[in-house]
Structure 1
Amino acid sequence: MMMQDSPIYIPTDSSHDAMDSHLLQETSTTASEHPDQTHNESTAGDSEEEEEEEKKTKGKAQPMDCALAPSEKLEQAQKMAEKFMKEKEVHKANRELIRCVALTRIIYGDSHWQLAQAFSNLAHGYLSLRGLPAQAIEHAESAKRILLTGSHTAPGTPEDKREILGTLVTVYYTLGVAHLTQNNGKESHLSLQKAEKLMEELQELDGRVIMGLKVSEKDLVIALGSTCLQQNKLGFATGYFEKAVDAVISAEGDTAPELINLYQKVAQSEQLKKNHEKAIGYLLQAHSICVTLHKKLSVEAAQTGLLLGKAYAATGEQQHFEAAEMYFTESLIAYEAAVGAKDSLTLTAIEEFSKWLVQAEKKQQAYRLLKDSLKFIIDIYGDFSEKAAEIYHLMGSICLAGGKMREAYQLFSKCLQIQTAVYGPHNKKPKEMQELLNALERSPAVHEGNRLLK
C-alpha cells in the first residue's frame, strides 16, 4: 500500500473556515454535543447555480431527527445521498455528501480513513454529478492527504484495508478524470495509473472487489484510454478502449448503447494512426448499433453516419468516394428529419459534406448546399459571425477554383468585412484575406466586373 510521508493536518485557513449555511443548520445540534471535534469545511467553490437551488429549497427540506446519534445521522445522510444520486437529484445529493463529511469528522476526527472516504465520495460527486473538476480535485487532494499521512489510517481489519484501497482508487480516478477534463494529460495519466495499480491490489486481496466501490474497472479503463488518446499514446489508447469494449460486451451484449462511444473512440485512435480501414470497421459497428437502437432517421445515427462519411473521405482513395458520399448524404437526411434544416447540427453536417465535395471535384453541388444553408447560418449565428465568415470563404474558394473571379472577389470581400468585425483588423485572418483580395484586384476580370457594377 501507498502509505508514507510525514503527518499533515488538513487546512482550515480562512478559505475553508465556513460551511455553507444549509450544512451548518443541519449539523448544529450534533456539533454542540461534540464541541471538541467540530471543524468546518467549505464546499470548495459551489457554483451560483447551487446557491440559487439552496434559496429555493431552504426551509423545505426535512431536517434530520435531532434525537439521532451522530453515527445514525451519518448513516441516514449516506442513504439519502445514494437515493438522490439514483434519482439524478444533483444538488440534493451534493448536500448529503457534504453532510457526510461534516458528520464523519465529528465522529472520527480529522485523520481517520473514513473522513478520507467521505471526502473522496464528495470529490467524485462534484465530478460525476456536477462536472466541476476544480472542486473535485480540491476534495480529492484532501482525501489523499488524510490517507497517505493521517495518524489513524492504518487498517485495523482486512475489511478496513479493502475500504482504504477502494477509497484510494476513487481518489486517484477522480483526480485523473478531473485533470483530463482540464487537458492536463500528464497529471491525469499519473493519477489513473496509480488507480489502476490500486485496483489490481484490491482485486488480489481475495479475488473480489468490495461492495459499493465507486469506480468500476471499466470506468477506469475508459479513462485511461481517453488520457492516452489526449497525449497521443495511440497504441495504449486503442488497447484500453478495446479492453473496455470486451468488458461491455461480456456484461451487456454486443448491442449495448455504451459500445457506440467506445467504438468511436477506438476508431479515432486508429484514424490518428492512419489505419483507415480499421477505423471504418469500428465506425460501421457503432453505426449499426445506432440504427438498431435509435432508428435510421435519428440524431445518433446521423452522428455516426457523418463520422463514417469523414472516415471514408479521409482515405483519399477513389474507391471510397461512393461510400463517403452515401454516408454524408444519409447523415444530412437524418439530421434534417430529426432536428430540422435550421439546426446547428444539420448546418455543421452540410459544411463537412461541402468541404469533401470540393475535394471530390463536385464544386457546384458544394456551392449549392452552402448557398442554401447561408440564410440559416445567418438566422442562427447572425450576419457578423465566425460561421458566416467561414461559409463566405468556402463559397469564394469554390468560385475562385472555377475561374469565377468577380464572384470570388465579392464573396471574399464579404468574408473580410465579417472577419474584421469578429476578429479585429490586426488579426491574422483578415490580414490574409486582405492580401488575397489585393491579389485578385490585379485580375482584369475583377476590374471589368467592378466597372460594370458601377
Structure 2
Amino acid sequence: MAPPQRPGPGRRLHAHRQEAEASFLNTGRILEECYLQGGVDQEERSKTELKISTALSRLYQRQRRPLEALAQCERSLQLLGDRGDPGETCSVYRDMAAIEESRGSLDRAVEHLTKAHAIAVSQSPGGLDRAHIAHKLAVVHSSAAGPRHNESAALYFEESLDVYRDAAGTQDPTFLTAQDDYCRFLLIDGQMERCVEVQKASLAPKRYVFGEWSAEVADSIQLIGGVQMTQGLIRPAHRTLRKCLEIQNIIFGPQHKKTKATQKTVDMLARAPEVVNRQLRRSTAVS
C-alpha cells in the first residue's frame, strides 16, 4: 500500500491562511461577547476590532480576495473615525490604494493615495511618509494613460525627490530609487535629454552607495547608452555601453543574459561606420 501523500507547499499555505481567517473571526466573536458581558470597555473593544480588521484585510490581500480586503479597510476607517490616529488612517488608505492598484483600478488607487498624501502633508510636511506617498502617487499616475496623469506624475516625482533630498539626502537608496523611477517616466514621456541629465547626476552617489562595480551603476550607464543610441549618437553610445559591458562582465559574468544582450548591442555598434572609421583613424595615428 502506497504511503499517503503529503500536501504540497501551496495547499499547506492555503490551509494555514484558512486557519488564520477562522482564528481572527473567532477572536472577533469572543471580543463581542466579552464586551456585552462587561469584560472590556468600548475603547478596548474598538482598538482590538481595529487590529482584527487590519489583520483580516492584509490576509485577504494575500489570498487575492480584494473586495473582502477593501471591506475590512472600510471597517478600519469606521473604527478610526474622525478622532483616529492620523498615521493609522494614512496606513489604511495606502492599503486600499495597493488593493485597487492590484485590481487595475488606477483612478481609485490615486483617490486613496491622495487622501493619504493630504494626511502626511498635514502631519509631517518634511517627513519621509510624505515622500513615500508622493513617490507612489507619481508611479501610479505614470502607469495611467492621458496627459492629466503625466502632468500629475511629473509634479509628484519632483515633490518626492525634493522631500527625500531634504529628509534623507541624495545618497539614500530611497532617493536613488525614486530618481530611477523618475527617469523611466521621462523616457516614456519623450524627455530623453532630461532623462540622461538626471541619470548622469545619479552616477556619483550610486558609485558611493553601491560601488563602482554594481548593478545599479551598470543600469544607469546602460540607460544613458540606450538613449544616446536612440538619438543617433553612435560613437558615444558605443563608448558608454562598453563601460556598461565591462561592469556586467565582472558582476554577472559573460554568460548572464544581461551581459549577452549588452555584448550583442556593443558588437552591432562596433560595425557602424562612425565607430569603424574612428578606430581606423586611431590605428593609423598609432602606426
**Superposed pair shares fold, TM > 0.5:** yes
Please give the TM-score of this superposition, normalised by the length of structure 2: 0.84
Task: Give the deviation of 1:290 after TM superposition.
Answer: 0.6
Would the alpha carbon gap of residues 185 and 405 (structure 1) be closer, same or farther in structure 2, given more than 3 Å must change?
farther
Q: Per the alignment, in what secondary structure is the counterpart of residue 216 of structure 1? A: helix
Separation of aligned partners in 2, 1:240 and 1:402: 50
The aligned counterpart of 2:14 is 186
Separation of aligned partners in 2, 1:299 and 1:200: 34
The aligned counterpart of 1:419 is 248
The aligned counterpart of 2:96 is 266
Task: Give the deviation of 1:207 after TM superposition.
Answer: 4.6
Would the alpha carbon gap of residues 201 and 238 (structure 1) be closer, same or farther in structure 2, given more than 3 Å must change?
closer
Tell whether 2:156 aligns with 1:364: no
Deviations 1:305-349 (A, max 9, x none): 111111111102122211110110111111111122222221111
**Match of residue 197, structure 1, among 13, 25, 40:** 25
Would the alpha carbon gap of residues 259 and 450 (structure 1) be closer, same or farther in structure 2, given more than 3 Å must change?
farther
Would the alpha carbon gap of residues 259 and 206 (structure 1) be closer, same or farther in structure 2, given more than 3 Å must change?
closer
The aligned counterpart of 1:245 is 77
Task: Give the deviation of 1:357 after TM superposition.
Answer: 0.4
Would the alpha carbon gap of residues 390 and 245 (structure 1) be closer, same or farther in structure 2, given more than 3 Å must change?
farther
Would the alpha carbon gap of residues 438 and 273 (structure 1) be closer, same or farther in structure 2, given more than 3 Å must change?
same
Equivalent pair of 1:266/1:282 in contact (CA under 8 Å): yes
Equivalent pair of 1:188/1:227 in contact (CA under 8 Å): no
Task: Give the deviation of 1:187 after TM superposition.
Answer: 4.7
Task: Give the deviation of 1:277 after TM superposition.
Answer: 1.0
The aligned counterpart of 2:6 is none
Task: Give the deviation of 1:188 after TM superposition.
Answer: 4.8
- Structure with higher helix content: 2
Equivalent pair of 1:225/1:238 in contact (CA under 8 Å): yes
Extract unaligned runs of 5+ from structure 2: 1-8
The aligned counterpart of 1:345 is 174
Equivalent pair of 1:189/1:224 in contact (CA under 8 Å): no
Tell whether 2:165 aligns with 1:333: no
Please give the TM-score of this superposition, normalised by the length of structure 1: 0.55
**Match of residue 141, structure 2, among 297, 303, 312:** 312
The aligned counterpart of 2:4 is none
Query: Pairwise mapping of residues 361-400 of structure 1 onto structure 2 (< 5 A)?
Result: 361-400=190-229
**Match of residue 408, structure 1, among 237, 243, 265:** 237
Equivalent pair of 2:28/2:49 in contact (CA under 8 Å): no
Would the alpha carbon gap of residues 228 and 413 (structure 1) be closer, same or farther in structure 2, given more than 3 Å must change?
farther
Higher mean alpha-carbon deviation, 237-246 vs 282-291, is at: 237-246
Task: Give the deviation of 1:388 after TM superposition.
Answer: 0.9
Equivalent pair of 2:57/2:70 in contact (CA under 8 Å): yes
Number of residue pairs matched?
A: 268
Higher mean alpha-carbon deviation, 371-380 vs 195-204, is at: 195-204
Q: Per the alignment, in what secondary structure is the counterpart of residue 380 of structure 1? A: helix
The aligned counterpart of 1:89 is none
Larger radius of gyration: 1
Equivalent pair of 2:28/2:52 in contact (CA under 8 Å): no
Query: Pairwise mapping of residues 283-298 of structure 1 onto structure 2 (< 5 A)?
Result: 283-295=113-125, 297-298=126-127
Separation of aligned partners in 1, 2:209 and 2:93: 32
